[in-house]
C-alpha cells in the first residue's frame, strides 16, 4: 500500500477518492436534491466519479513529476467550482451557470460581505484534501518515474471515465426520460449528472444560445407577435386612462415576501404602515401576486416589471443581454405621453450592469450612489431612511409627468441592521437569517411611512400613481426549519411555492381600495400600468396581461416551467389543488394542467428567442423611435442635478 501511494497512479487514485468523497458530502450536507428512490441515491454515489476520473486523468499527459502539479491544479479548480456552488446554493438555493459568472462585478458593490456571511466553520473540508495531496506530492515525488505515462494507458483512464458517464446517463434516462432534451430545473441535472458534468452541459448550452443573435432574422418574430396578439387582454373600460398624465412612482421593496403583511412577531406588528395601506380606500393590494424571477433575482424583477418579459433560464439578462434592444416602460411612457424617467438607487451604478442596460431602456436619469451620502450605508448600500430623504429633492427636480423607480436596499440578505436603527426585537428561531429579517423589514416599513409623508407635504402624492412591489423571496427554502416555527406550517414543496407571494400595491384613481384576490405576477404589471395611463399595450410585444382586465390570464407561469393559479399549483410533475394543497388525481383536471404547461412552455420558448436573438431590433411598433443608448450619459450631472 505504501508503495502504491508513493506512485503516480496511487496519487491519482487518492485524488479521485478525495474529490468524490467531498462531492458526495456536499450532496448530503448542502444541497436539497429531493432523492425519492434507490436509483437516484445510487446515481449520487457514482456521478462525481466520471468527471473526477476524466479531468484528473488529464494530468497523466504531463511528463514526469509535472504530472503532480497538473493534477493539483485541476483538483483545485474542480474543488473551487464545487465550493462556489455550495456558497451560491446556501443563498440562492440554486446552482451556478456560466452566465452568472459574468455577474462577478456585483462583488465590488457589497456582495463580499454576504459571501463571508454564508461561510461555515467546517468549510475547510472542501480544501483539506488538496493540502494533504500537496504534502504527499512533496514527500513522494522523488520516487516518481521521469517518463510520461504511456498514451495508451492515459487514454484508457479517460475512456473509463467517459464509459462511466455513459452508464450514469443511461441510468438517469431510465429514471428521468429525456433528461437533457426537456426543460428541467438545474437541480435535476446536478442530481442525475453531478456538478462537474452539469457544468460541461451548461457550457454547451451557453455556446448554443450565444450564436442565436447572429442567426436571428425578422422572420423569427412572426410566431412571437402571433402569440402575444392571441393572448392580449382588452383593458377594463372602468379603469382605462384613469391615471393619464399622472406621475408614476414605483417603489421596489427588496426581498419582501407577503407573509410579512399583517404578521405579528410576539404580538407586535412587523410592518404597521404597509398593513395600513392594505386597508387604504385609495390603494389596491393584490394578495395573490408572485415573483417570477430566476437567477437574476432583483435584475430579473426589473426586467419583468419594465418589459413584461421573463428573465433568462440561466444568468441575468441585465448582465449578459445588456446591449439588446428593448421597448421598456421608460421609453414607452416617454414616446406615448412625454414622460421623464429616473431610477433612484443608493448603490454603485455598475451593479447588475444597470449603467448600460438602463440606456437601452431609455432611462433619462440614473441617480446612483454618487448622488447620496454613502456614509449612511449598511450591507449593500444606503440605508432606506436616508435614501428616501435624500431622494426627495432629486424627485422634485424632475420634469413632470415623470416615471420614477426607487430601489430600496436595507431589507437584503444577510439582513444587517445597526442596533440603533432596530425598533423591533429579532425573532428567536436560532436561524440568524430569519431572525434578522423582521428587523430590516420593520426598518423598511418605517422608511416608507416617512416617504409617503414627504410626498404628501410636497404636493406630489395626489398627482401620482404609486406602485409598491416585492422583487423576490427573502427567505429561501434553506431556512425551512425556522420558517416552520414562524408560520406554524410544515414547509412542504407546496407550501414553499405559496410562500413565493410578494406584495403588489397600486394607488391610482378609480381603483377599489382593499384586497384584490386576482392571481398575477410581475409579468403583468407593465400592461396594467399602461392601461391605467391610457396606453394600449397591444402594439408592444409583452407576455403579461392587465391585472384589472376581465380577460386577464390568472395562470402565473414561473421561469422554470412550473405555474400557480387559483385552481392549481404545478411543481414539476406533481400537481396540487391550490386551495387545499392536495395532489390532483382527477384525469380530466390533469389533462387541463398539461395543456396549461404546454402553453407556458411555448411562452417561455418565445421569450428566450426574443432575448437570445435580440429580436426586438426587428420590431417597430407604430410611431415608435428606437432607443439610441448614445443619447444617455450617466457620468455627467446637469446643473440642476448638482444642486
pLDDT at 99 over 70: no
Reply yes or no on whether 298 is catalytic: yes
pLDDT at 362 over 70: yes
Return the residue matching grid coordinates 504531463: 62
Q: Is residue 637 part of a domain?
A: no
CB burial string 412-450: b at 16+ within 10 A, e below? bbbbbbeeebeebebbebebebbbbbbbbbbbbbbbbbb
R_g of the chain computed on alpha carbons = 26
Residue 471 marked in a binding site? yes
The per-residue pLDDT for 117 is: 76
Q: Of 498, 518, 551, which residue sits at a domain end?
A: 551
411 plus 311 within the same structural domain: yes
Least confident of 147-151, 221-225, 545-549: 147-151
Residue 562 marked in a binding site? no
Residue 472 marked in a binding site? yes
Q: Which carries the bigger pLDDT value, residue 94 or residue 348?
A: 348
Q: Is residue 471 part of a domain?
A: yes
The predicted-structure confidence for 469-514, as pLDDT tens digits, reads as follows: 999 999 999 899 999 999 999 999 999 999 999 999 999 999 988 9
Domain of residue 362, CATH code = 3.40.720.10
The predicted-structure confidence for 245-295, as pLDDT tens digits, reads as follows: 999 999 999 999 999 999 999 999 999 999 999 999 899 999 999 999 998
When pLDDT is cut at 50, 70 and 90, the band that residue 5 belongs to is low
For residue 466, report the phi and psi dihedrals to the nearest 5 degrees: -115, 130
CB 374 within 8 A of CB 353: no
264 plus 163 within the same structural domain: no
Least confident of 348-352, 393-397, 519-523, 542-546: 348-352
Domain count, the chain: 2
When pLDDT is cut at 50, 70 and 90, the band that residue 109 belongs to is very low
Structural domain of residue 477, as residue ranges? 234-551
245 plus 196 within the same structural domain: no
The per-residue pLDDT for 440 is: 97
Residue 408 marked in a binding site? no
Q: Is residue 228 part of a domain?
A: no
Least confident of 1-10, 122-131, 375-384, 627-636: 1-10
201 plus 270 within the same structural domain: no
Q: Which of 187, 199, 293, 298 is catalytic?
A: 298
256 plus 141 within the same structural domain: no
When pLDDT is cut at 50, 70 and 90, the band that residue 637 belongs to is low
115 plus 251 within the same structural domain: no
Average pLDDT, stretch 207-228?
87
350 plus 202 within the same structural domain: no
The predicted-structure confidence for 447-476, as pLDDT tens digits, reads as follows: 999 999 999 999 999 999 999 999 999 999
Decide: helix, strand or coil at residue 8.
helix
The predicted-structure confidence for 128-159, as pLDDT tens digits, reads as follows: 999 999 999 998 888 887 778 788 889 999 99
When pLDDT is cut at 50, 70 and 90, the band that residue 638 belongs to is very low
Check the CA dihedral 257-259-262-265 and report its sign. negative
Q: Of 518, 551, 584, which residue sits at a domain end?
A: 551
The per-residue pLDDT for 213 is: 83
The predicted-structure confidence for 293-325, as pLDDT tens digits, reads as follows: 998 899 999 999 999 999 999 888 988 898 899
- The pairing of strands 464-470 and 247-253 is parallel
pLDDT at 386 over 90: yes
Q: What is the pTM of this model?
A: 0.77
The per-residue pLDDT for 639 is: 40
CB 412 within 8 A of CB 146: no
When pLDDT is cut at 50, 70 and 90, the band that residue 175 belongs to is confident
Please give the mean pLDDT across all residues of the chain: 91
Q: Of 521, 551, 581, which residue sits at a domain end?
A: 551
The per-residue pLDDT for 145 is: 78
279 plus 208 within the same structural domain: no
368 plus 478 within the same structural domain: yes
Residue 531 marked in a binding site? no
Check the CA dihedral 258-259-265-267 and report its sign. positive
pLDDT at 22 over 80: yes
When pLDDT is cut at 50, 70 and 90, the band that residue 201 belongs to is confident
Q: Is residue 55 part of a domain?
A: yes
CB 93 within 8 A of CB 306: no
Q: Is residue 493 part of a domain?
A: yes
The per-residue pLDDT for 27 is: 94
Q: How far apart are CA 619 and CA 298, in angstroms?
A: 27
Amino acid at each position: 500500500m505504501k508503495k502504491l501511494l508513493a506512485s503516480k497512479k496511487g496519487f491519482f487514485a487518492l485524488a479521485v477518492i478525495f474529490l468524490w468523497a467531498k462531492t458526495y458530502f456536499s450532496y448530503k450536507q448542502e444541497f436539497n436534491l429531493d432523492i425519492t428512490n434507490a436509483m437516484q441515491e445510487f446515481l449520487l454515489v457514482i456521478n462525481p466519479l466520471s468527471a473526477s476520473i476524466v479531468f484528473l486523468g488529464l494530468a497523466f499527459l504531463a511528463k514526469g513529476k509535472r504530472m503532480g502539479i497538473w493534477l493539483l491544479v485541476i483538483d483545485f479548480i474542480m474543488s473551487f467550482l464545487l465550493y462556489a456552488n455550495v456558497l451560491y446554493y446556501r443563498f440562492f438555493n440554486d446552482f451556478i451557470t456560466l452566465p452568472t459568472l459574468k455577474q462577478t462585478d456585483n462583488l465590488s458593490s457589497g456582495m463580499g460581505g454576504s459571501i463571508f456571511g454564508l461561510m461555515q466553520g467546517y468549510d475547510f473540508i472542501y480544501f483539506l484534501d488538496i493540502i494533504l495531496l500537496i504534502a504527499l506530492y512533496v514527500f513522494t515525488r522523488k520516487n516518481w518515474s521521469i517518463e510520461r505515462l504511456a498514451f495508451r494507458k492515459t487514454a484508457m483512464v479517460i475512456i473509463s471515465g467517459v464509459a462511466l458517464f455513459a452508464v450514469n446517463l443511461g441510468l438517469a434516462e431510465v429514471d428521468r426520460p429525456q433528461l437533457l432534451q426537456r426543460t428541467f430545473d438545474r437541480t435535476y441535472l446536478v442530481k442525475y449528472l453531478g456538478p462537474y458534468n452539469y457544468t460541461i452541459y451548461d457550457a454547451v448550452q451557453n455556446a448554443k444560445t450565444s450564436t442565436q443573435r447572429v442567426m436571428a432574422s425578422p422572420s423569427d418574430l412572426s410566431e412571437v407577435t402571433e402569440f402575444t396578439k392571441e393572448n392580449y387582454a382588452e383593458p377594463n373600460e372602468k379603469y382605462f386612462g384613469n391615471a393619464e398624465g399622472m406621475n408614476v412612482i414605483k417603489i421596489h421593496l427588496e426581498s419582501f415576501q407577503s407573509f410579512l403583511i399583517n404578521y405579528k412577531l410576539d404580538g407586535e406588528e412587523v410592518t404597521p404602515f404597509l398593513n395600513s395601506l392594505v386597508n387604504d380606500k385609495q390603494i389596491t393590494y393584490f394578495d395573490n401576486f408572485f415573483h417570477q424571477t430566476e437567477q437574476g433575482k432583483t435584475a430579473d424583477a426589473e426586467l419583468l416589471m419594465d418589459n413584461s418579459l421573463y428573465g433568462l433560464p440561466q444568468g441575468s439578462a441585465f448582465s449578459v443581454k445588456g446591449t439588446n434592444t428593448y421597448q421598456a416602460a421608460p421609453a414607452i411612457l416617454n414616446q406615448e405621453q412625454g414622460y421623464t424617467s429616473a431610477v433612484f438607487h443608493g448603490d454603485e451604478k455598475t451593479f447588475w450592469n444597470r449603467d448600460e442596460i438602463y440606456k437601452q431602456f431609455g432611462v433619462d436619469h440614473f441617480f446612483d450612489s454618487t448622488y447620496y451620502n454613502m456614509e449612511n450605508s449598511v450591507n449593500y448600500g444606503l440605508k432606506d431612511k436616508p435614501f428616501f430623504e435624500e431622494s426627495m429633492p432629486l424627485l422634485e427636480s424632475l420634469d413632470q409627468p415623470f416615471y420614477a423607480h426607487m430601489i430600496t436596499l436595507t431589507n437584503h440578505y444577510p439582513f444587517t441592521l445597526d442596533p440603533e436603527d432596530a425598533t423591533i426585537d429579532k425573532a428567536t428561531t436560532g436561524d440568524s437569517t430569519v431572525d434578522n429579517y423582521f428587523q430590516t423589514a420593520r426598518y423598511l416599513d418605517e422608511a416608507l411611512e416617512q416617504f409617503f409623508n414627504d410626498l404628501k407635504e410636497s404636493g406630489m402624492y395626489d398627482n401620482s400613481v404609486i406602485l409598491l412591489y416585492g422583487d423576490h423571496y427573502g427567505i429561501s427554502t434553506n431556512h425551512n426549519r425556522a420558517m416552520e416555527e414562524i408560520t406554524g406550517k410544515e414547509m412542504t414543496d407546496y407550501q414553499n411555492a405559496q410562500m413565493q407571494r410578494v406584495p403588489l400595491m397600486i394607488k391610482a384613481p378609480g381603483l377599489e381600495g382593499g384586497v384584490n384576490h386576482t392571481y398575477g405576477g410581475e409579468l403583468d404589471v407593465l400592461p396594467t400600468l399602461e392601461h391605467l395611463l391610457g396606453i394600449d399595450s397591444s402594439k408592444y410585444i409583452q407576455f403579461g396581461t392587465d391585472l384589472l382586465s376581465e380577460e386577464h390570464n390568472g395562470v402565473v407561469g414561473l421561469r422554470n416551467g412550473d405555474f400557480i393559479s387559483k385552481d392549481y399549483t404545478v411543481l414539476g410533475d406533481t400537481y396540487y389543488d391550490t386551495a387545499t394543497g392536495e395532489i390532483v388525481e382527477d384525469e380530466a383536471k390533469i389533462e387541463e394542467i398539461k395543456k396549461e404547461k404546454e402553453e407556458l412552455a411555448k411562452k417561455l420558448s418565445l421569450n428566450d428567442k426574443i432575448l437570445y436573438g435580440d429580436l426586438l431590433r426587428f420590431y417597430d411598433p407604430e410611431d415608435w423611435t428606437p432607443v439610441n443608448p448614445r443619447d444617455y450619459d450617466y457620468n455627467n450631472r446637469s446643473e440642476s442635478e448638482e444642486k
